[in-house]
Each structure stands twice: as structure tokens, then as C-alpha cells.
Amino acid sequence: MATDNGQVRGAHRSLRVKAIILVDFLFVSLALVAAGWFAVREYLETPPYVDEARFPVRGIDISAHNGMMNLDAARADGIDFAFIKASEGDRYGDPNFALNYDKATRAGIKVGAYHFFRFDVDGVRQALNMLERVGDRRLDLGLVVDVEQTGNASGVDPALISDRLGAMLEYLGLKGYHVTLYSNRDGYYQYLQGGFGDRPLWICSFSNPPIAADWVFWQYSHRGRVKGINGDVDLNAFNGSTSEWYDHLSEMHSEDFDIQRD
């Protein structure tokens, strides 16, 4: 059968035009999706604005993960307090705890020590591990127990988690320590709100306000930048004025403890 060459050429041109339009459409669509994702990611990763007039007392939390630090420079950059990782589970001790403690105290930074609570380990053994790492060091902010699912064992009975946490807190309390509990929003509602909601709370949250509960400290960013520290560092705020900050420090110690007001 004979075919008109002009019609064939016209059909080919039409197909090419349609193909070009389709490619352009796909390219634009992918660009819009990518732009949208980067915008969402930037929104999710951008720390909430924390009013310095409302929350004038600022701090960090640090561990060996942060490497070597110049905490004198951090203090000069407005850092008032630091929670320093001491331990995890019943065996692990942060290798930089003693060094970070010495640096922070020499710099005039108020310090507390924190322990990452393991769901699958006996609570008293965890308390003993923490106390061994802390030793007889003076802690302006007492002890903190970090309770969260991230990085923890899965499949542990919630009732057993509660029992182990209760045992750890009771043991630390018997030794005379003030204990603050740390968690993110999900962890607070899952593990702390019922049986441990009356204890001082240090909350990790990227919304403002951070949570519909009473809290003492707010970890509002994992991407902070502080002089003297390479890379990102967690940023925190105390829930109160400067005067309330000194009241809080006094509550952490006996009456004969003299708080040095910088």
C-alpha cells in the first residue's frame, strides 16, 4: 500500500513535539517536588524561635560525640549550663565525661550529668553504673535519666520498662540525688506521663510551646552552633528568669551550698 511521505513526516513531527512537552512536564514536576521536599525538610529541621527575653538562661548537652571542646569559649558565647553524658546501661561510661566536667566547671558553666536509660537492663544496675561514673563530683543540676525509644531495645514490655525505671530512680533518690527526666514528646506520653510525670522534666521538642505539661528545661535544637564546639550541638533553655534560675540551683543543693551569682 502506498503512503504519503508528507503525512508521515507530519506525524513524526507531532510525536516529537508531544515527547518534548512530556519531558518538559516531567522535568518541571520533578523540580517542584524537589523544591517542596527541601522546603519541608528545612521547616522540619529549623529550630523554633526561642525568645531570649523570655528564656534568658541557655545551655547545651554534650558527650564524647562532640569531640574536643573549648568550653571557655562556649561560656563566653552565652552558655550558662551543660548536661554532660556520664553513662549508659549498666556498663558503658562516656570516655569524655571527666574531661568535659572539668572543662565546664573551670569555665563557670553549671553542670548536670545524664544517663541513657536502657529498656532491657535492670534499673538498679544502671543506677550503680551512673553513680560510679559520677563519683563524688558536685553537680549543680543533679542527675538526669534519658528515657526514649530512639536507640533503645524494641519489644520490651512497657510494664517492665516502668519497673526498671522506677527502681533506678528510687535508688538514686535514696543516695540523695535530685533526678530530672529527659525525653521527647512521644517518650513523655508513652513512658513518663503516668507514673513519673511529677518529676522535673527536660523535654526535647521542636515546637513552641514544647509540650502541654510542666517542664524545667527545653531542648529545642540538635543543630545549634556555639563557639568552641566544632559542628552541631544540642541547644537548651531553662524555663524561667535569671532569678528563677538561681532559685532552681539552690533547690538542687542543701541550704549551706553557696550559689555563686555570676
**Active-site annotation, residues:** 61, 148
* CA-based nearest residue to 62, from 89, 101, 108, 107: 101
Cα separation, 91 vs 126, whole angstroms: 8
221-227, Cβ contacts within 8 angstroms, sequence gap of 24 or more: 221/47, 223/45, 223/47, 224/47, 224/60, 226/60, 226/74, 226/77, 226/79, 227/70, 227/73, 227/74, 227/76, 227/77
Residue 26 contacts residue 64 (beta carbons within 8 Å): no
Count Cβ atoms below 10 Å from residue 195 Cβ, excluding itself: 13
Pairing of strands 81-88, 58-62: parallel
Determine the distance from the C-alpha atom of residue 133 to the mean position of all C-alpha atoms in its chain, rounded to a whole number: 21
> What is the phi/psi pair of residue 229, to 5°?
-125, 125
Determine the distance from the C-alpha atom of residue 184 to the mean position of all C-alpha atoms in its chain, rounded to a whole number: 8
The partner residues of 145 in beta bridges, in order of sequence, read: 115, 181
